[in-house]
Structures are given as structure tokens and as C-alpha cells.
Amino acid sequence: MFDREKKGDRALLLLPHSRGEGDTIRRGEEFAELVKSAGAEVLGVIAARVEDPNPRYYVGSGKADEVAEAVRALEADLVLVDHVLTPVQERNLEKHVGVRVVDRAGLILDIFAQRARSHEGKLEVELAQLKHIATRLVRGWTHLDAQRGGMIGNRGPGETQLELDRRLLAERVKMLTKRLQKVQTQRGQQRRARLRNIVPRVALVGYTNAGKSTLFNALTTGDVFAADLLFATLDPTVRKLENLSCGPAVLADTVGFIRELPHDLVAAFRATLAEARDADLLLHVSDAADEERERLHRVVDNVLEEIDSGDVPQLHVMNKIDLAGAEPRIDRDAAGKPVRVWLSAATGAGIDLLRQALGELLGGERVQSELLLPLSAGRLHARLKAAGAITGETVDEHGWQLHIDAPRSVIAPLSGGDATETLLLRELLATVE
């Protein structure tokens, strides 16, 4: 038995792989980037071919011995495994090598814990962490095993503490779940308010580190943190997107996707993923300089299917053309509809083309007209204003004299059922027929 260090940042990486897993070098590089994002120092890397996982260590016993020797030689205090381990495998490997062992899921959870900034994001991360820890709780009390001896007549402090911790964990999970439900109800009300405004909703999605947050900042006046790190931003950020031919829209930045994202996190991060589910259009951002971009595109599509966003229309954005040596352009399908925009969010090249494509996809026929609204039509006036359809107005004893400029698709659903309002809207829409 051994007493584990509470913290370690000198890491040895263990990279299990099988014959059919594709580019193991790329997988190793990506895992090293995850480790870098977590703030650990990589001392060494050990690859392990695994065709038939060992139920005890996941890797073979010989490879486990090799890891233990490397830990001692390099004086590592942490082993990070690029695979999801069972609690038994993690505990056994930890005992064998004598230092902490963290699998892929635990590492990603740690990164998420560092990156979450909003109250909701922190609650979601803690809830996912507690669910992950609950299955591994026993390993933290192995140092008390020697005190217990036989079970009958000798129920030692280890068991008492373990049961106490389990009860405390369960209570904390219950409390966090209630808090999240309250926060999500509030966010849902805010989202429904945006839906009622009939403003088109656009969400940025893509593999982590594709440049989504940089693009978000380039399109809006946002100040989202952007860096060359995996999961640089987690919390959903929403800003108004202006200067489009279709009128204003709402743009949301979401968490970056990654292969083998732990299911607990996919389930937990409902807030940021809901922005993708509720969007009218997804901007699927890819790194144009990445040779693996097609495979990563499929990874993102798979996650979108998992969160019920697979049927939301997409515009593919090929970012980082400054690194790929490409020129800004719009690719169109046979009908002339924009399907792909090539740009550089860092330099700004091609941003105007993206705005053009968004205007085409979100717009349609525009209503540009003068409208006299009687003072009795205050509700319609409020809905037109909330939808961003009013670009100028004056008011006198006869009512509001409005200048309307908005897509037909924005104005058509605004009637609240009042006969006068319905007639006014019909007359307004007739100006583009």
C-alpha cells in the first residue's frame, strides 16, 4: 500500500492503442495537448498496443511493470492514461506504479474545472466530477485497509469514513442537481424570450482549438477568451450579430468538441449545447491547415447527432487560411446556396464573405416600407421593435410612423391574433409581393 500525493504535475503519459484506431501519432499529440491544457509537465511517453484489454490494468502486466519502472526513473508523480479506465483498473494500476493514475475522462474533467467561469458552468463541472469520483471513492481509503483486518467484529474506521463520504457525495449531488435545475429554468426563460423575438439564432460549433472563439470575437464586439489551448472556453456566450443583409441575429459560442468526450460531460453541459440545439444555423468551424480536418468534422457531426442537433442546417467555415495558404472565398452548391466559407479569423480575411453568406442563408425577401401604427397597436409595436424590424420612428397623436427594414421571415409570424394587427401586417407584407 502507499499514501498518494494530493497533487502532482510531473506526468508520465501512457498511450494505449489498437490496430484499427488510425493515426496513433495524432492521437498522442492531441493527448499531449490535453495534458498541456491541464498544466502538467510531460516527462515521458509510453505507447502500449492493446488488442485484448487486461481486466486488471487495461494494459498488459509487462507494460504495467514498464510504467512502474519509468515512474521511478523519471521521478514522476502522476500517470495520465489516454483511455477511459474502469475504477478497478485505475485503482490496480495506481497501486502497481505507486503514484496517482488519471484516465482520459478524469483529465478532461480537470480541464473543464479550470476553464468554467459562469455559475452554471461551475455547477455542471462539479456535478460531473462528483459522479466520476463516486465510482472511485474506495481507492482514496486503501491506506486504512491494514487497520481493518477481518470484517466480522472489526469494522474499522476505513469503512465508516467510506460510507460517510458516500453519503456526503450523494447529498452534494442532490443539492447541485436542484441548483442546476433552477439555473437552467432561468436560462430557458431567457432563451424562450429570444425565440419570441424571432431573431435568427446562429451557433458556433467545431472541434476544440479550431478557432471558434477568435471567430466569435471577430464577428461581434465580444471579448471571449481565445488561446492555443484545448477547451480554451467552456461557458456559452451570446452576443448580437449586426451588419448582416438580413438584419440582426444572435450568435452563440459553444464548447469545443473532441473525440471520446466523456458522456457525463455531454449530458452535464446542457447549457452550452442547448445553444446548438436551438440554433437556426450552425457555423461548423474547421482548421483549414489541419490535414485531419475531414475526420474531425465527422467527430463533431457525431456529437451533434448525440445532442439532437444533427438536423440543424450548417455552414462550414474553413478557418486559419493564413496557415493553409488559401484565399478567402465562398463555395456554393448547384443552386448557388453558400455551403462553405474560407477565411482567417485571426487576420480578418474573408470575414466580410462570411457576413454575406449569413445574410443570404438567414434572410430572404426583405420588407422595406413605411408603416403607420395606431396607438392602440402597442403590442405589435413592441414585437416589431424586439425583432429589430424598426430602423426609424416618430410618434404623434395619430400613432407611430415607422420605417421597417427586416426579412419577411421575421415579420410574418409577429401577429398576436388581433384582427387590426393582422390586417396591418398583411398590408406591410404586400409591399414585397
What confidence score (pLDDT) does residue 64 get?
92
Kindly state whether residue 162 falls inside one of the protein's structural domains.
yes
Q: Answer positive or negative: Cα dihedral of 49, 54, 56, 60.
A: negative
| Contact of 323 with 289, CB cutoff 8 Å | yes
| Contact of 116 with 234, CB cutoff 8 Å | yes
Asked if residue 388 and residue 347 are part of one domain, the reply reads no
Asked if residue 54 and residue 148 are part of one domain, the reply reads no
Kindly state whether residue 192 falls inside one of the protein's structural domains.
no
Residues belonging to the chain:
433
Q: 190 vs 194, 196, 273, CA distance in Å?
A: 6, 10, 15
Kindly state whether residue 122 falls inside one of the protein's structural domains.
no
- Please give the residue range of the domain that contains residue 376: 366-432
Asked if residue 355 and residue 209 are part of one domain, the reply reads yes
Asked if residue 382 and residue 255 are part of one domain, the reply reads no
The residue from 155, 187, 219 where one domain ends is 187
Asked if residue 321 and residue 277 are part of one domain, the reply reads yes
Query: How many angstroms separate the CA atoms of 182 and 174, rounded?
Result: 13
* CA 143-144-150 angle, 5° bins: 130
Kindly state whether residue 53 falls inside one of the protein's structural domains.
yes
The DSSP H or E segment spanning 280 is: none
| Contact of 309 with 282, CB cutoff 8 Å | yes
The pLDDT confidence band at residue 234, using thresholds 50, 70 and 90, is low
Asked if residue 344 and residue 228 are part of one domain, the reply reads yes
Total number of domains in the chain: 4
Kindly state whether residue 111 falls inside one of the protein's structural domains.
no
Is the pTM higher than 0.85?
no
Asked if residue 261 and residue 409 are part of one domain, the reply reads no
Asked if residue 346 and residue 208 are part of one domain, the reply reads yes
Question: What single-letter amino acid sits at 130?
Answer: L
Angle 61-74/87-97 helices, nearest 10 degrees?
A: 50
Instruction: Reply yes or no on whether the pLDDT at 272 is more than 80.
Output: no
CATH number for the domain spanning 51: value is 3.40.50.11060
Given the C-alpha cell 471579448, which residue does it identify? Answer: 223
Asked if residue 268 and residue 182 are part of one domain, the reply reads no
Percentage of the chain with pLDDT > 90?
21
Kindly state whether residue 112 falls inside one of the protein's structural domains.
no
Asked if residue 205 and residue 253 are part of one domain, the reply reads yes
Pairing of strands 78-81, 10-17: parallel
Provide the b/e sequence for 328-356 (b: ≥16 CB within 10 Å): bebeeeeeeebebbbbbbbeebbbebbbb
What confidence score (pLDDT) does residue 420 get?
75
Asked if residue 347 and residue 218 are part of one domain, the reply reads yes
In 357-407, where do the E strands start and end?
A: 366-373, 390-396, 399-407
Asked if residue 290 and residue 311 are part of one domain, the reply reads yes
Instruction: Reply yes or no on whether the pLDDT at 326 is more than 80.
Output: yes
Kindly state whether residue 35 falls inside one of the protein's structural domains.
yes
The residue from 324, 343, 362 where one domain ends is 362
The residue from 166, 187, 208 where one domain ends is 187
Kindly state whether residue 2 falls inside one of the protein's structural domains.
no
The pLDDT confidence band at residue 287, using thresholds 50, 70 and 90, is very high
CATH number for the domain spanning 254: value is 3.40.50.300
369-412 per-position pLDDT tens digit:
888 888 888 888 888 888 778 888 999 888 899 888 777 667 77
Hey, what's the cell of 49? 498496443
Nearest to 138, CA basis, from 83, 94, 76: 94
What confidence score (pLDDT) does residue 247 get?
73
**215-219, 342-346, 372-376: which range is least confident on average?**
372-376
* Sequence-distant (≥ 6) Cβ neighbours of residue 104 within 8 angstroms: 31, 34, 81, 82, 83, 84, 260, 262
Pairing of strands 399-407, 390-396: antiparallel
Given the C-alpha cell 500525493, which residue does it identify? Answer: 5
Helix (H, G, I), strand (E, B) or coil at 387: coil
Query: How many angstroms separate the CA atoms of 193 and 187, rounded?
Result: 10
Query: How many angstroms separate the CA atoms of 331 and 212, rounded?
Result: 20
What letter does residue 203 receive in the DSSP assignment? Answer: E
